[in-house]
Amino acid sequence: EAQVTQNPRYLITVTGKKLTVTCSQNMNHEYMSWYRQDPGLGLRQIYYSMNVEVTDKGDVPEGYKVSRKEKRNFPLILESPSPNQTSLYFCSSSPHRDSYGGYTFGSGTRLTVV
């Protein structure tokens, strides 16, 4: 089944403790991105990657890092999480950035930083 897999689904952590949220897709998509979703706001892009070893900042990159060493994986790293990073996170992929069709999303990671 074609899908984007995110882990973990839920995570509660303490301020300053490094964490990684994994994202993997099995569709051989070139384009992958991370979003956060907060109440009353649309999804906001954190980082995106157009292909292996090519990443760039989205609208809200502060406090996040990413890497794209393999085409299928695009982990999101929070080196020193803070409470304002408490949010619902989604990873997505599409064949290319300018694909006309929609994006496929992972099931989401609900992160709470205390």
Partner 1 sequence: RKEVEQDPGPFNVPEGATVAFNCTYSNSASQSFFWYRQDCRKEPKLLMSVYSSGNEDGRFTAQLNRASQYISLLIRDSKLSDSATYLCVVKDSNYQLIWGAGTKLIIKP
Q: Which residues bind partner 1 (CB under 8 A)?
A: 35, 40-45, 58, 88, 90, 97-98, 100-103, 105-108, 110
Choice between 63 and 108, CB closer to partner 1: 108
Choice between 7 and 45, CB closer to partner 1: 45
Q: How far is the CB of 65 from partner 1 (least distance, A)?
A: 20
Q: How far is the CB of 108 from partner 1 (least distance, A)?
A: 5
Q: How many alpha carbons lie under 13 Å from residue 50 in its C-beta half-sphere? A: 7
Q: How far is the CB of 49 from partner 1 (least distance, A)?
A: 13
Choice between 4 and 19, CB closer to partner 1: 4
End-to-end alpha-carbon separation of the chain, Å?
36
Any idea which residue has 């956060």 for tokens?
Answer: 36
CA separation for the pair 88, 70 (Å, rounded): 25
Q: Distances from the Cα of 89 to the Cαs of 2, 25, 29, 113, in angstroms? A: 20, 16, 19, 13
Q: How far is the CB of 18 from partner 1 (least distance, A)?
A: 25
